[in-house]
């Protein structure tokens, strides 16, 4: 696949794809004889993983470390797993914090909903 096709498929700009490759969070992409990037299914799996992890808030540095360890081979499996587990724990905390915020907002909205009929009645009196 070309960079334009991959960009469209994953909704990531071509510049971002080039950046990801340059800093090493996706392995180098093979090129055609004309020098055009030729993304394989494996390349696309890496992009999908990195997009997911970035959406989850994983820092670029952690992603670079993960890919670097992957390229070192099977001896780094435990370390790679630990990186993912640590990131999962951070994401879980963030989800809990967001849920707490959502609960507070919902309660506040409920409070407004309870008083809205009273406010509307007062407004109608004022408008008469």
Encoded tokens for 5: 């096709």
Per-residue pLDDT at 119: 66
Per-residue pLDDT tens for 115-125?
Answer: 777 666 666 66
Question: Which residue, among 16, 118, 108, has the nearest Cα to 8 in the 3D structure?
Answer: 16
Domains (range + CATH), the chain: 3-127 (1.10.1660.10)
Task: Look up residue 126 and give its two tokens.
Answer: 């004022």
Residues 77-90 pLDDT 10s = 999 999 999 999 99
Phi, psi (deg, nearest 5) at residue 29: -95, 135
- The predicted model scores a pTM of 0.72
Within 13 Å and on the Cβ side, how many CA atoms surround 5? 10
Question: Which spans in 24-76 are helix H?
Answer: 41-55, 60-72
As a whole number of Å, the CA-based R_g of the chain is 24
Beta strand residue intervals within 7-126, DSSP E: none
């Amino acid at each position: 696949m070309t960079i334009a096709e991959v960009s469209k498929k994953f909704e990531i700009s071509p510049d971002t794809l080039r950046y990801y490759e340059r800093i090493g969070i996706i392995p180098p992409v093979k090129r055609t004889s004309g020098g055009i990037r030729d993304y394989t299914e494996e390349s696309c799996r890496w992009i999908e993983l990195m997009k997911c992890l970035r959406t989850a808030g994983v820092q670029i540095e952690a992603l670079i470390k993960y890919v670097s360890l992957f390229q070192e081979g099977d001896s780094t499996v435990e370390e790679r797993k630990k990186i993912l587990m640590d990131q999962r724990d951070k994401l879980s905390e963030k989800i809990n914090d967001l849920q707490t915020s959502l609960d507070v907002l919902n309660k506040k909205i409920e409070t407004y909903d309870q008083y809205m009929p009273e406010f509307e009645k007062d407004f109608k009196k004022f408008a008469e």
